[in-house]
Amino acid sequence: MTLPFHHRIPVNLLAACFNNSSATYKYYWFISIIQAVERGETIIPKRNLFAAMITNAWYTVNYYHVSFGKQDKIQEAIGLLKNLEGITVDEGRVRLLERLCRSKNKRTIEVLDYFNNQVPHWFLSPWFPGINNKSAIYLASQQFENNCLYSIDRDGIRINPLWLDYLTDNSRLLKDFCFWNLALFLQSKNPNVPDIPNKLIRPITRNSLNSQRTKFWDIVITENNGVECIYTGRKLTIGDYAVEHFIPFNFVSHDLIWNLIPADRSFNSVKSDKLPPLDRYFEAFFKLQRQAVEIIGRVEPKSKFLQEYLTIYPDLDGVEDLPIVFTPEKFKERIQPMVTIAANNGFQFMQ
């Protein structure tokens, strides 16, 4: 993905800002600048940009526990600010940004100010390749030397008027470019974590699981005259169960049927995004899944949901294959590493 060309400004230098990144700072810094420009701001306080960096990373860190790498301090800063300000993990973006920008807590201000030595002047390095001094970059930027993107002073930045129309007209493409490169960077730090691109922005709503309920699990429960919740042992009937992700959605980021099971409604709300200990629950989970495939394979052999099991059992071609192909060992080969990686990334186990 490349940046839109412009004949009057050095777009190539903007693209070069993201070369050889060892942390996420530049990505979140630039995204925050674009968001401010979209609001009509051209003189932007640094603290507001640092707060926006935290806000933009909040969901990725708190919901999906994506690792930013050892050198990156954004993850640590989010943990500190969450405790310092008493902010819940599901705080709305606008409210979160406002709280961080207006906080009078000296420690909060210190945490945000850490990024002052990490990104505002170094982001402009491509415009000043021979300068490695913070003060010198500040001074050069204040004259918009080499048509640099913005000028810097002690408290904030000022967008170069030469760049303003470009940033405004291409704001969506510029953010897409930045999120794309951020996703590639984070994927390199989390090679076994699925679907990093969809873990960068909090969706407005989650997908409904109504189809999985009515066209799969309702059929299984009806044919089986009810099933037992693998967590509580309670008998589940039509209309009286929740469809839940065995491995949390916040980690897998998909609604494939092989990770979905019916569960006791009250227990599902308590389980939240916790991991199920496999030594306690895998056997019952597998038994329920295999029973479901048996029933759907017989009652609805053309069900699209059966195709979703092919990601685990590529040789599965019908109910007659179940005894040989649909084995617990194969299923556990897929489940076990995901649970281990999720735990390593900070997801907690159920008690």
pLDDT at 228: 95
Instruction: Give me the half-sphere count of Cα atoms (radius 13 Å) on the Cβ side of residue 42.
Output: 10
What is the rounded distance in angstroms from the CA atom of residue 150 to the CA atom of residue 148? 6
pLDDT at 204: 59
Q: What is the pTM of this model?
A: 0.77
Lookup result for tokens 């080969």? 333
Average pLDDT for runs of 10 along the chain of length 351:
85 91 93 95 97 96 89 94 92 92 96 96 95 94 96 97 95 94 92 89 78 96 94 94 93 91 90 92 96 93 92 82 86 91 87 82
What is the rounded distance in angstroms from the CA atom of residue 293 to the CA atom of residue 302? 12
What is the rounded distance in angstroms from the CA atom of residue 231 to the CA atom of residue 248? 15
Residues 6+ apart with CB under 8 A from 35: 52, 56, 175
pLDDT at 91: 87
75 CB neighbour count, 10 Å cutoff: 20
SS3 category, 275: strand
Helix 328-344 vs helix 278-299: angle between axes, to the nearest 10 degrees?
A: 130
pLDDT at 71: 86
> What are the beta bridge partners of residue 260?
245
